[in-house]
Amino acid sequence: MAKEPKLALIPLGGLGEIGKNMMAVRFGENILVIDCGLMFPEEEMLGIDVVIPDITYLLENKDAVRGIVLTHGHEDHIGALPYVLKQLNVPIYGTRLTLGLLQGKLKEQGVAGEANMHVVKPRDTVTIGPFKVEFIRVSHSIPDAVAVAVHTPVGVIVHTGDFKIDQTPVDGEVTDFYRFAQLGERGVLVLLSDSTNVERPGYTMSERMVGATFDDIFRQARERIIIATFASNVHRLQQAITTAYRYDRKVAIIGRSMINVANIAHELGYLHVPEGTLVELEEANRLPKNKVVFLCTGSQGEPMSALTRMALGDHRQVEILSGDTIIISATPIPGNEKLVARIIDQLFKQGAHVIYEAVSGTHVSGHPSQEELKLMINLVKPRFFVPVHGEYRMLIKHAELARSMGIPAENIFVAENGQVLEFTRRSGRIAGRVTAGRVLVDGLGVGDVGNIVLRDRRQLSQDGILIVVVTISRELGQVMAGPDIVSRGFVYVRESEQLMEEARERVKEALEKCNDRGLSEWAAIKAQVRDVLGKFLYEKTRRRPMILPIIMEV
């Protein structure tokens, strides 16, 4: 009897976390990658700019990788490509806006020349190795989002990407329910579905709701209006521009990332701007206050963003004036609540009227709530179900939801990054693991900052550093000069002279002991100094600064 063909799904990111989404689909010696995103650093990742998936597995199987398919243009789905393409230059497939935004990112990082990009549109099917990949329109908080159906020799995989079921989307492009239902009718092996909002009952509101709220606010506002939102939310920008035009206001866009997205979306025809509505910032500043709207970044309280700089009074061209209406059109991403609250406080202090509450209708999510997730499962009717895109509790909740919809528990897999899910036409199991994890990007260094460097940074940030400099005679092994102690972030030396003096004495004693015992190995001497000084300082201060002994020979 011939062996049954097997298909493997290998999540390399996006499970047990929000961000850095990446899924590998493997059949024989062929790998297809869906999405390639980044994640923003957590609080304890000091100095890290972004986090990208570990692609060791893909590099080990470089010759098998046939291409990368993108579901939409958000950072957590395309942001790692500038780093990944340097090591793995394979064809990339995505819709026009997605590839337009990616092209901009690649140009910034100087890797645009080599990229081999293929534009697709909803309902297109492309053949990539043994896979037939079909793109299906979905709604999300960025235009041109798609789900992918991968037709493999074992069966059909449906990956929803990020989606919501919006019956009245801003661009009029409704989710392709018919195609999902057709696939469900013919039989789907595995459904991979977005878990971000699984904790919310009911339905996610339509993006049109925000337009109606904007209308109310614009009608009542007497002076300037400032709207902060995500740079990539083209539908939100569209609604702000349309409403401004309706109320005869001019619009100025502030913030590099938002200007980039607006330019790309406008060029490609995804953003429609009535003639004469957009103006430069200088011109907007000269207009009467009731004739302008500023669109800016900073809805998450990011330190370098336009809104934050305005709130703190250090934006070069715009200062907050009493009477301004400020709309924060986003909910804080978990972990950013404090940053956002601080900015809102600052804006109120400057006399602005700030509209930020979740109940105000100035923001709706781009992800599906429970009823939409149920509808997706009912349309697709998969044999196996794998929740993706979410923290662990969300994946568990989504698995419970699928079970309540009649999918047997043994056909639902809550996986972790790196686990290999293996399927035949009739069976599914977890079959081992591959390398997966986080690669930290700091400045131009990719992966050169690891756990040990982070541990050192944490120690430096909490307890500071002491540098002990000693000059020793090569022949006699005696101390010729020092020990001198330099302290940074530990204690203020001028106010702790006694402590420093005692510390110097302890170091001298340690060095004399080393000399008496005939220790001439530098490593041993340094270790001795570190031990003695560490114990002494902990007794005196209950702190453990990093201690760096520097020994010079003369």
Reported as half-sphere exposure (CB side, CA atoms, 13 A), residue 224 has a value of 24
Neighbours of 440 (CB within 10 A): 21
Higher-scoring residue by pLDDT: 359, 526: 526
Q: What integer pLDDT is reported at residue 519 of this predicted model?
A: 65
Assign 69 a pLDDT band (cuts: 50, 70, 90).
very high
The response to whether 366 counts as a known ligand-binding position is yes
Contacts of 441 (CB under 8 A, 6+ apart): 38, 48, 49, 50, 51, 52, 83, 447
**pLDDT by residue (tens digit) across 259-294?**
999 999 999 999 999 999 999 999 999 999 999 999
Higher-scoring residue by pLDDT: 399, 516: 399
**Strands of the sheet with 292-296, listed across from one edge:** 250-254, 292-296, 225-228, 325-328, 353-355
Element (H, E) at 121: none
381 SS3 class: coil
Element (H, E) at 364: none
Q: What integer pLDDT is reported at residue 477 of this predicted model?
A: 62
Name the burial class of residue 455, with classes exposed (0-12), middle (13-18) and buried (19+) by CB atoms within 10 angstroms of its CB.
Answer: exposed
Higher-scoring residue by pLDDT: 506, 400: 400
Residue burial 365-384, b: 16+ Cβ < 10 Å; e: rest: bbbbbbebbebbbebbbbbb
**pLDDT by residue (tens digit) across 505-518?**
788 777 777 777 76
Structure tokens at 86: 């340097």
Beta strands 292-296 and 225-228 are parallel
* Cα–Cα distance, 58 to 390 (Å, whole number): 23
Assign 333 a pLDDT band (cuts: 50, 70, 90).
confident
Neighbours of 522 (CB within 10 A): 12
Highest mean pLDDT among 241-245, 483-487, 525-529: 241-245
What is the percent of the chain where pLDDT is above 90? 62
Out of 58-72, 112-126, 133-147, 537-551, least confident range: 537-551
The response to whether 124 counts as a known ligand-binding position is no
Considering all CA atoms of the chain, what is the largest pairwise distance in Å, rounded to the nearest integer? 89
Q: What integer pLDDT is reported at residue 168 of this predicted model?
A: 93
Reported as half-sphere exposure (CB side, CA atoms, 13 A), residue 26 has a value of 20
**Alpha-carbon distance values, 218 to 324, 404, 496 (Å):** 12, 44, 59
**pLDDT by residue (tens digit) across 197-220?**
999 999 999 999 999 999 999 999
| pLDDT of 411 above 90 | yes
The response to whether 211 counts as a known ligand-binding position is no
Out of 190-194, 315-319, 373-377, least confident range: 315-319
Q: Which amino acid belongs to residue 43?
A: E
| pLDDT of 387 above 70 | yes
According to the 3-state scheme, what is the secondary structure of 18-59? CCCCEEEEEECCEEEEECCCCECCCCCCCCCCEEEECCHHHH
Q: What integer pLDDT is reported at residue 390 of this predicted model?
A: 92
Domains of the chain: 7-202+365-446 (3.60.15.10), 207-355 (3.40.50.10710), 464-553 (3.10.20.580)
* Cα–Cα distance, 408 to 415 (Å, whole number): 16
The response to whether 72 counts as a known ligand-binding position is yes
Q: Do the beta carbons of residue 188 and residue 155 sit within 8 Å?
A: yes
The response to whether 389 counts as a known ligand-binding position is yes
Assign 504 a pLDDT band (cuts: 50, 70, 90).
confident
Backbone angles phi and psi of 540, in degrees to 5: -80, -35
List the catalytic residues. 194, 367
Q: What integer pLDDT is reported at residue 483 of this predicted model?
A: 80
The response to whether 176 counts as a known ligand-binding position is no
Structure tokens at 405: 């919809």
∠337-340-341 over CA atoms, to 5°? Answer: 85
Assign 493 a pLDDT band (cuts: 50, 70, 90).
low
Assign 476 a pLDDT band (cuts: 50, 70, 90).
low
The response to whether 272 counts as a known ligand-binding position is no
The response to whether 233 counts as a known ligand-binding position is yes
Q: Do the beta carbons of residue 219 and residue 247 sit within 8 Å?
A: yes
* Cα–Cα distance, 398 to 385 (Å, whole number): 10
Q: What integer pLDDT is reported at residue 19 of this predicted model?
A: 86
Higher-scoring residue by pLDDT: 81, 535: 81
Assign 359 a pLDDT band (cuts: 50, 70, 90).
low
